[in-house]
Chains A and B, each alone.
Chain A
């Protein structure tokens, strides 16, 4: 009898495993031979939100693209043209007017900053100890190869911070939303190619909400009394990259020739590339 029930359990287990594998095999077969770029164009993956054993939303089941501005934070963030521009303080408006695309920090292999993204993917990696999750890292392929560190252990922001590109981030979950609260930024990054500025007073709150298998909404709220009249919010959609896509090496300084030969007067202005 005991032997019989073991056999039944084995049959049930094997059937369940097969049932789980079938969709994976079908999905693999349907995308076989297609490049990552082609699979991305086919649209986001569908299916339920994947979860960790404790029920927490799992953000680590692949690499992500999108979810932030590249060219125009107003347009890409779901606002009308001029909405953020109208909130700039006069000095910040003047600064922005002096900026052109050739002055972008990332042309010299400096970070894109927050909330800007690139065409290259990033991965959320949660670090655990035997007690609990302690950190979330966001590993960025490009541009540049870098990472963000988010403290998930309940600590607060220190009172006195020396400014940095990515600031000091603390994070927590609210249902299926990862909330990241950051202060301590420097004023170096641009939000987009248009050159929206910010100051060291910037405080940001990112709300990353997984909607399903393939999509994650990023609701980004910025409060920077140094540069803007009041806080504002923009919303983006990140997509899970197709299975098989992983972070690749991206060393921006290995062959960055930006402007050196192509833009008249570049070397006099900026020197050789980093």
Chain B
């Protein structure tokens, strides 16, 4: 079971890395694929920009301290060709972000998925 899970995870990581390689920058230089992280918080800002769109969100740590995280998404134009817009998410939304940590250890993450409370994924796959 554990092996199956590992294989599945490896598969997901590989396909994700392949997709990420298409982005403006390979995540390899900036983000550590060996440091996955899942965070839940409230969106405070959306930057619909190139070379990457970004969202910022407040996440409460185990000690209750709130930290504002910087979440790197794909390029704005790549997201637009998948049907996403700046209105696909709203400031104040609660989101769960899965991604990998910046190599420097600051509160930055390259997002693999951004999920709303109802389970809807935004900014990945097709919005049609």
Contacts and interface: CB of A to CB of B under 8 A. Distances in A.
A262 interface: yes
A189 B81 CA distance: 27
A1 interface: no
Contacts of B31: 262
Please give me the 4 A-B residue pairs with the lowest Cβ-Cβ distance, nearest first.
Answer: A262-B102, A255-B49, A102-B29, A262-B30
Contacts, number: 106
Interface string B11-26: 0000000000111111
B75 interface: yes
14 contacts: A38-B128, A101-B28, A102-B30, A104-B25, A107-B29, A248-B80, A252-B24, A257-B70, A258-B30, A258-B51, A261-B102, A263-B29, A263-B102, A264-B103
Contacts of B70: 257, 261
A263 B31 CA distance: 8
Interface of B: 21-26, 28-31, 47, 49-52, 54, 70, 72, 75-78, 80-83, 102-104, 106, 108, 126-128
Contact of A264 (B28, B50, B72, B104): B104
**Chain A interface mostly helix, strand, loop or mixed?**
loop
A40 B22 CA distance: 14
A40 to B, nearest CB: 8
Interface stretch (A14-22, A28-36, A46-54, A172-180): A28-36
Contact of B51 (A101, A249, A255, A264): A255
B51 A263 contact: no
Given A37-B82, A142-B77, A261-B102, A101 B26 contact: yes
A181 interface: no
A143 interface: yes
